[in-house]
Amino acid sequence: MRLDKFLKVSRIIKRRTIAKEVADKGRIQINGLAAKSSSDVKVGDELTISFGNKTLVVRIDKIVETTKKEESKEMFSIISETHKEEPNS
């Protein structure tokens, strides 16, 4: 499955266009390598996603074409979530 579609279906990122933008800006890595929105993902891959001051690391557990909101959390496991501290001026 394409990276941008996985991010949308799993609801890690709400809209596919936003997922595509984030990936194409180089803010997503698959298993430590830079990823484009068209990159293929598979079960077991580890995604590192940078959102501004937050970095999310998730492992893909399941891939399905469509899912209900409640079931979307079964598609991935959060490995870590870090927040960058703003330096005090």
Q: Is the pLDDT of residue 5 over 60?
A: yes
47: domain range? Answer: 3-82
HSE-up of 48 (CA within 13 Å, CB side)? 9
Mean pLDDT over 62-88 rounds to: 88
CATH of the domain at 15: 3.10.290.10
Per-residue pLDDT tens over the stretch 15-73: 999 999 999 999 999 999 999 999 999 999 999 999 888 999 999 999 999 889 889 99
If one counts the domains in the chain, the total is 1
Q: Is the pLDDT of residue 8 over 80?
A: yes
17 part of a folded domain: yes
Q: What is the DSSP string of 24-59?
A: HTT-EEETTEE--TT-B--TT-EEEEEETTEEEEEE
Residue 52's pLDDT is what? 84
Which amino acid is it at 68? K
